Amino acid sequence: MKRLNREEGATLVEMAFVLPVLVLLIFGSLEFGLAFKERLTIASAAASAGRTGATMGTELEADIRILEALEVGLYDQVDIGVIISVEIFKADPITGINTGPSNFYLFDGTDPTCKWIPCPDPSHGGFVGFAGGWDPTSRDTELNPGGGGLDVLGVEVTYRHTPVTNILPFLERDFTERALVRLEPDVFGSST
């Protein structure tokens, strides 16, 4: 009997050592899984927004359509409130680096007409382009006979991940996802 009582005490001591590690592993896996799911969803939404921008070409409402495609691409799996900003920029065709003019939009979910600051929607009287920005009507959609000539559109989304359990507080920070797409050629001259 004495031997059994001693083993019960040893089991409690072992459990005291193992339980915190087990809880950390379970909740850590949960946190990393949720952060990875959020990253994949936002990366997919950014790619979808980039494809929308590639097909819009030089249309005046290209930027608002890109931002709307981003919102739709989140599939209600990620709260749109985690989005901090979106930058639509001209990228280098080889390296993908932001090479010049860009349009920078902040998300504001409180405005029911346009959720972006500044509002790029021409139907709501929003601005299109700004000093130093990349006016959608100036994007190159003409395919040169020797190849090239088409602009590369970049969509960079900055978002904040907030941990659910807060067991891994270093996961609460800003992340960015980027999508690069070459603009579609305007072979029929339909764009402005």
List pLDDT tens digits, range 134-178.
Answer: 888 889 988 877 666 789 999 999 999 988 888 878 888 999 999
Q: Residue 49: inside a domain, yes or no?
A: yes
Q: Residue 188: inside a domain, yes or no?
A: no
Q: Residue 192: inside a domain, yes or no?
A: no
Q: Quick one: which of 178, 90, 82 has its CA closest to 135?
A: 90
Q: What pTM does this model have?
A: 0.84
Residue 102 has pLDDT above 70, yes or no: yes
Q: Residue 189: inside a domain, yes or no?
A: no
Q: Residue 190: inside a domain, yes or no?
A: no
CA 33 → CA 30, 36, 44, 73, distances in Å?
5, 5, 16, 20
Domain total for the chain? 1
Q: Residue 138: inside a domain, yes or no?
A: yes
Q: Residue 40: inside a domain, yes or no?
A: yes
Q: Which domain holds residue 57?
A: 2-182
Q: Quick one: which of 141, 147, 132, 142 has its CA closest to 62?
A: 141
